[in-house]
Amino acid sequence: MSQHFQHDVLIIGSGAAGLTLALTLPERLRIAVLSKGELANGSTYWAQGGVAAVLDESDTVDSHVADTLNAGAGLCREEAVRFTVENSREAIQWLIDQNVPFTRENEQDREDGGFAFHLTREGGHSHRRIIHAADATGAAIFTTLLEKARQRSNIELLEQRVAVDLITERKLGLAGNRCMGAYVLNRVSGEVDTHSARFVILATGGAAKVYLYTSNSDGACGDGIAMAWRAGCRVGNLEFNQFHPTCLYHPQAKNFLITEAVRGEGGLLKLPNGERFMQRFDSRGELAPRDIVARAIDHEMKRLGIDCVYLDISHKPADFIRSHFPTVYERCLSFGIDITRQAIPVVPAAHYTCGGVVVDQHGQTDVPGLYAIGETSFTGLHGANRLASNSLLECFVYARSAAADIIAQLDQVRPAGNLPSWDASQVTDSDEDVIIAHNWDELRRFMWDYVGIVRTNKRLQRAQHRVRLLLSEIDEFYSNYKVSRDLIELRNLALVAELMIRSAMLRHESRGLHYTLDYPEMLEEARDTILVPPIYGD
């Protein structure tokens, strides 16, 4: 039996952005935080590197802004970059106040009033400005914020809940298009419940699962982007998908990335014969931005026909390696690789979705009452390439800004009231789930082959032809059978893939993360790729 729930604020996604928003809102509000699986299954928990912020006296806001603009290859929106960086210290202080256990400069607290935390440097940054908790920053932040959320009686944490679609006035045949809630699959009961809310927030992460090889968790299926598009929101710059250059290459090492900080602390990229190669591609060598490093690795792998390259930090003292990178050390050791003595086999893998749902400085989308924060959103911060460790910062800054915007509107927005139940009267149980599995595999393979690190017009055309056939098949399946997590994710992923391909086909240049052999040069004028959805029901 399906159920109806009423909330003041419905947050779809339980990572850094979603939990920060929930904890920043007043305790008098009824807040629900939904997680597709277990709460810790999202990308936040696995983030290793840290959070970029202006924290050291030798660093400046202008320097952090300049580094971000440089990495973004002309496409960053400077006002978004400056807004994010100017609010970075306050966001970090909020995390410190929540008792996030960031790594300190030494064993004991400094008493001279200086900044007591260790800062590291990553590719593309001109200063040490990455605050971290060893090499498991995401886990430290997530665990802390989750514990805080559990202590709040007004925050309801709901696991095994998969959002199916948003409920808007337009979809209900009403005037306007305010978001009023969402239909959500309860995986425990198997029913689709109705959640009404005064405000709905998409904090569902990115869409890297669209690729065959990814560093992301299984839930990174572009759900928020797809739902927002169907509700009437514009999307921007979806052709820019960041590939993390160094994922552990081992048959049993699923989705494990080697943090950017390994290169920041002196790790060297080498070919199987021990030769370094990054200096041939960029004067910054291993500290070049991720897109340059990923393309260089991809080039060398294809040129030599090799399965991987190697990241070597074994020239550093063993104690230094074990203390700075305990998670990487232990994980690699579990596969028989001692990084204090051996180089780490690595390959690039899809990592971060730089585009997303178009939002303003408060995370507000084109649909009133609907916000998008974190990797789901397109704020203009990242441009054509994300600067390392700016992503977690964006989560905190925009979640806090969205909370302030919601608080300012509380008196004007009434409860959504009773919404119609999900109609499952025309569907049956599926006996052909093999179709979902087959389509899922096909989608991820052709996206990897045709819309990957290096693209061509012909590859993109092939991908577009295949994705449209898949969308047609998925649509038919969705119309006839009861929804499941796999079907919902496949439907969303295929739609986002089509939007990615369409965006890539519109960009007739190579810029940042979008590199095409047909247009190898960068145009003089930098323009965002903004896609506008058809009016719902047309």
Rounded to 10 degrees, the C-alpha dihedral 256/260/266/272 comes to: 50
* Helices 390-409, 16-24: crossing angle, 10 deg rounding: 30
Long-range contacts of 303-307 (CB under 8 A, 24+ apart): 304/271, 304/272, 306/271, 306/272, 307/249, 307/345, 307/347
**DSSP strands (E only) in 39-178:** 51-52, 119-120, 130-131, 155-158, 161-168
Report yes or no: 517 and 227 within 8 Å, Cβ to Cβ. no
- Which whole-number Å values give the CA distances from 29 to 7, 10, 147, 291, 416, in the listed order? 8, 11, 19, 42, 14
What is the chain's Cα-based Rg? 23
Long-range contacts of 263-266 (CB under 8 A, 24+ apart): 263/122, 263/123, 263/287, 263/293, 263/311, 264/120, 264/121, 264/122, 264/123, 264/125, 264/130, 265/120, 265/313, 265/316, 265/320, 265/324, 266/313, 266/315, 266/316
Task: Check if 444 is active-site.
Answer: no
Q: Is 95 helix (H, G, I), strand (E, B) or coil?
A: helix
Closest CA to 509 of 350, 336, 384: 384
AA letter at 126: S
d(CA 61, CA 64): 5
Report yes or no: 473 and 439 within 8 Å, Cβ to Cβ. yes
Q: How many residues does the chain have?
A: 538
- Which whole-number Å values give the CA distances from 27 to 12, 21, 31, 127, in the listed order? 18, 12, 9, 38
Closest CA to 352 of 476, 260, 269, 486: 260
Residue from 198, 290, 455, 491 carrying the catalytic annotation: 290
Degrees to nearest 5, angle at CA 272 with 271 and 277: 10
Q: What share of the chain is helix, strand, coil (3-state, %, to 5)?
A: 35, 20, 45
d(CA 150, CA 361): 29
Report yes or no: 401 and 361 within 8 Å, Cβ to Cβ. yes
Q: Is 68 helix (H, G, I), strand (E, B) or coil?
A: helix
Give catalytic residues, as residue numbers: 290
